[in-house]
Structure 1
Amino acid sequence: MRSPLLLIISGPPGSGKTTLGRRLASELWLPFVYKDGIKERLFDTLGWRDRAWSQQLGIATYELLYYFLEVQLAAGCSQIIESNFAAEFATQRFLLLKEQYSFRPCQLMCRTQGEVLLARFKLRAEDGSRHPGHVDQLTYGELEAGLLKGRLEPLAIPGEVIEVDTTDFDSIDYGGLMQQIRALL
């Protein structure tokens, strides 16, 4: 029996990770756990205030994300997880999970042209489509340099790495991407 596939979707804020994850989960019938989904539940339950509170809930959010990941891995389930995983912090966590559980990781790295990403991030922060608890409008200065890079580095773990250019959502080859992923399932 093949070990479960773990699709890890990562990329900078606003790069389309959640949109991609929802679509893949729907088409592949896989569980999808994503950082902002957990964090927004915490905002709705515990309230939201300022940047410091958002960061504190962010720490709890990651612990819950990893907990849900472990529950599914222990059950031998393929799944999709999504966050803006920073390689310098998350790599070690995934390597430890790999020692405990048998799974095949595949990273889907969302990347976007920097100027497009910055504009998308600002629009999303201001148009009311995002939960106000994220207080994104207070993070422009903090995140601008990273957003202009348009990408994050993949985790230093074994497995496939697939780059997905999300600069223009309409130009993504979903058929080709699905074919690559189905071959791994």
Structure 2
Amino acid sequence: MGKPVLVIVNGLPGTGKTTLSRRLAADLKLPVFGRDSLYETLYDALEGQANDRQSRLGHASFALLYHVADTILAADKSLIVEGFFGNIELRSAEFLQLQQRTDLAPLQILCHADGELLLERFLARMESSERHGGHQDRKWLEQHKERLLRGQLAPLKLAGQLLEIDTTAPHSSAYAKLLGQVQRVLANGHSL
């Protein structure tokens, strides 16, 4: 019997992490937890008392994500977490701490896409009425536009498998291949 697998779906904003994670979760019958969803839940629970708290809410949402993952992994169950884990050094260290507490097999899925397309997606999402009001998208874009235009994020510094998927023009064959790879990792508990 293998170790529980922590599937980490990472990538720049607009790369389709949430969509991919939900699809994988449905096909694999795994729970999925998104960092943005936890942030939005905390934001709403505090009734938007935001400006000075948004940074703390961001930190709290990561801490909550790791706590939930730790609890599920400790029960010897696999799960999916997704988010923009863009501070590579810090997030790698946090995932390594989680790995030290729980004997897990990390599987990182790194999403990337054409930078111009990511900018278009980001702007469209920012203007959407469906976008949660707690996000500071304009501020983030002012600080990270060039990073977004590069289209790719460096992977986290973790042992384990790394799979990449280009979401510029999603193809069902690319998803089917990725799904098969993830199924093999889950079946083996850590190796393709």
TM-score range, shorter chain: over 0.9
Spell out, residue by residue over 1:90-112, the C-alpha distance to the aligned partner (whole angstroms, 9 max, x if none): 11122222222111111000101
Contact 2:11 2:111 in 1 (8 A): yes
Q: Is residue 142 of structure 1 aligned with residue 140 of structure 2?
A: no
- Cα drift, residue 89 of structure 1: 0.8
Q: Which amino acid aligns with 2:181?
A: Q
TM norm structure 2: 0.90
Unaligned runs of 5+ in 2: 187-192
| Cα RMSD (Å) | 1.6
- Cα drift, residue 140 of structure 1: 2.0
Matches of 1:152 and 1:5 in 2, distance apart? 22
Contact 1:164 1:172 in 2 (8 A): no
Aligned to 2:39: 39
State, as a whole percentage, how many aligned pairs show the same letter: 39
Greater displacement, 171-180 / 80-89: 171-180
Spell out, residue by residue over 1:129-170, the C-alpha distance to the aligned partner (whole angstroms, 9 max, x if none): 210111313332112011111121111111110111011234
1:5-154 matches, cutoff 5 A: 5-48=5-48, 52-85=52-85, 86-154=87-155
Contact 2:66 2:98 in 1 (8 A): no
Greater displacement, 170-179 / 22-31: 170-179
Pair 111,63 (structure 1): closer, same or farther in 2 beyond 3 Å: same
Greater displacement, 54-63 / 115-124: 54-63
TM norm structure 1: 0.93
Q: Which amino acid aligns with 1:56?
A: R
Matches of 1:52 and 1:146 in 2, distance apart? 25
Matches of 1:127 and 1:104 in 2, distance apart? 37
Pair 135,48 (structure 1): closer, same or farther in 2 beyond 3 Å: farther
Matches of 1:142 and 1:56 in 2, distance apart? 19
Contact 1:30 1:80 in 2 (8 A): yes
Matches of 1:100 and 1:138 in 2, distance apart? 35
Spell out, residue by residue over 1:41-73, the C-alpha distance to the aligned partner (whole angstroms, 9 max, x if none): 112111236665332211110110011011011
Unaligned runs of 5+ in 1: none
Pair 115,172 (structure 1): closer, same or farther in 2 beyond 3 Å: farther
How many residue pairs were aligned? 185
Spell out, residue by residue over 1:65-86, the C-alpha distance to the aligned partner (whole angstroms, 9 max, x if none): 0110110111111000011112
